[in-house]
Structure 1
Amino acid sequence: MQQQVFVVDDDPGMLESTVWLLESVGLTARSFTDGRAFLDACEPGARGCVLLDVRMPGMGGLSVQDALRERGVTLPVIFVSGHADVPIVVRAFRAGAVDFIEKPYNEQLLLDSVQQALSQQPAGEHPALVSVRARLSALTPRERDVLLPLVRGYTNREIAEQLGVSVKTVDLYRARVMKRMQAEHLPALVGMAVAAGLVDPLALRED
């Protein structure tokens, strides 16, 4: 069965532009405007990956992800959303999402994530994960001290209290961690830490 990218988004303009982007690089894309229609069309043996919006009328992306898992469908799920707050990201990664990309997305970032999902193999590490591990190993001890509670959901003030430093110092180290890890936003940093096995997604704070 041919690999396909299933794109599920209730925004017709975003859906059309995403499908066009995928097809422009030779990928096969199928579009759906709601989660229920996608689930009805998705066969258990489907191969490929899913680009899934979080907020949709009727059935949101997180519910679609849960339904896929209950049906035993193992398609890699990439969330694409304009609402990437940490609790949503935590829940998505806990349920097995492979990436979480914010709208408006960078086209190459999206394509790279899709290609990574399509090339997932049971054995061996993807080059992107090898790169993340290398960046993690290059962090200083103090940067790691800030990174760990940061990706677990603690605020800058809470981290400052834990480390016995000022909030301003935490702000400085947080900015350095984001830059050194090449993370555009906090959800991306959380995803890197989970993917690298640095933190257990079940141990992340949701509030």
Structure 2
Amino acid sequence: MVNNDSIIYIVDDDHSVLEALSSLVRSIGLDVICFSSADAFLQQLPQRRHGCLILDVRMPEMSGLDIQKILNEKHHKLPIIFISGHGDIPMAVQAVKEGAIDFLTKPFREEEILSAIRTALKIDLIASEQHHEQDLIRRRYASLSEREKQVLPFILKGYLNKQTAIELGISEATVKVHRHNIMIKMETRSLPEIVRDMGKIGR
């Protein structure tokens, strides 16, 4: 379940770690981009693309946790694998609580980091598919007329056409037409399906 388009971003101020990790990742056929500082990474913050971020916890000026916080604030969902030269349990707990995929203490075995990368890429691919689906639903919703957008909440609440007509001050026949058009434009065939889809975009 690894996408060949994936990129592994590595941020660590230790050049020997960058070289070792980049060589290991390339050995399994994945692209790597390395950064020796938090600033360098943030200045070239990658656009949405399949991949994950391997991030050193302790770096000069800005910690890995600081980077994680910035990415979360920007809603940048690149999965993060933390690496640390210290067995800092409170730091690990905080990192995972904020969404990190794993927290590995140096020195770690090659298979440990590769396993973490595979897990991160699976999670990223699933998130990417969900993001794509949400975009489709939002585009379908945007295609509705203003009146159809007024009718839709009543459909989601399970109102009968007659009840919706009374609420909106229009005829029941008009509600039926709008309901039919909504189902076509939203590409749904049942009430549970449209409720599920709208829930995916928070409506």
Native 8 Å contact 1:54 1:83 kept in 2: no
Letter in 2 for 1:35: A
CA distance in 2, matches of 1:70, 1:81: 23
Q: Matches of 2:113 and 2:84 in 1, distance apart? A: 12
Determine helix, strand or coil for the equivalent of 1:119: helix
Task: Please say if 1:51 is aligned against 2:54.
Answer: yes
Alignment-derived partner of residue 38 in structure 2: 35
Q: How many angstroms apart in 2 are the aligned matches of 1:25 and 1:56?
A: 27
Q: State the partner residue of 1:181.
A: none
The CA deviation at 1:83 is 1.6
Write the distance in 1 (CA, Å) between the matches of 2:100 and 2:87: 13
TM-score (norm 2): 0.58
What's the counterpart of residue 101 of structure 2? 98
Which SS does the other structure have where 2:60 is aligned? coil
Q: Could you tell me whether the CA contact under 8 Å between 1:9 and 1:32 is conserved in 2?
A: yes
Task: State the 1:84 CA deviation.
Answer: 2.7
Q: 2:5 aligns with which of 2, 5, 13?
A: 2
Q: Secondary structure at the match of 1:117?
A: helix
Are 1:20 and 2:29 matched, yes or no? no
Give the Cα separation in 1 of the matches to 2:87 and 2:80: 15
Q: Structure 1 segments of 4 or more deviating over 2 A?
A: none
For the 8 Å contact 1:44–1:71, the answer to whether it is kept is no
Count of residue correspondences: 123
Q: What is the aligned-residue identity percentage?
A: 40
AA aligned to 2:103 is F
Please provide the CA RMSD for this pair. Answer: 1.7
Picking from 64, 72, 75, the partner of 1:72 is 75
- SS of equivalent to 1:80: strand
Task: Give the deviation of 1:63 after TM superposition.
Answer: 0.2
Higher-Rg member (1/2):
2
Offset, 1:94: 1.4
Q: Distance in 2 between matches of 1:44 and 1:25?
A: 23
1:97 Cα deviation after fit: 0.5
Structure 1 counterpart of 2:20, which letter? S
Distance 1:104 1:45 in 2: 31
Residue deviations 1:96-137 (CA, integer Å, cap 9, x gap): 101001101100110011011011125xxxxxxxxxxxxxxx
Render the CA deviation track for 1:53-100: whole Å, top value 9, x for unaligned.
Answer: 000001110000001111110010000111231110111011110100
Of residues 47, 60, 65 in structure 2, which corresponds to 1:62?
Answer: 65
Q: Does 1:108 align with 2:111?
A: yes
Shift of 1:2: 2.7
* Alignment match, 2:84: 81
Cα distance, 1:20 vs structure 2: 0.4
- Of the structure 1 ranges 55-64 and 39-48, higher mean CA displacement relative to structure 2 is found in 39-48
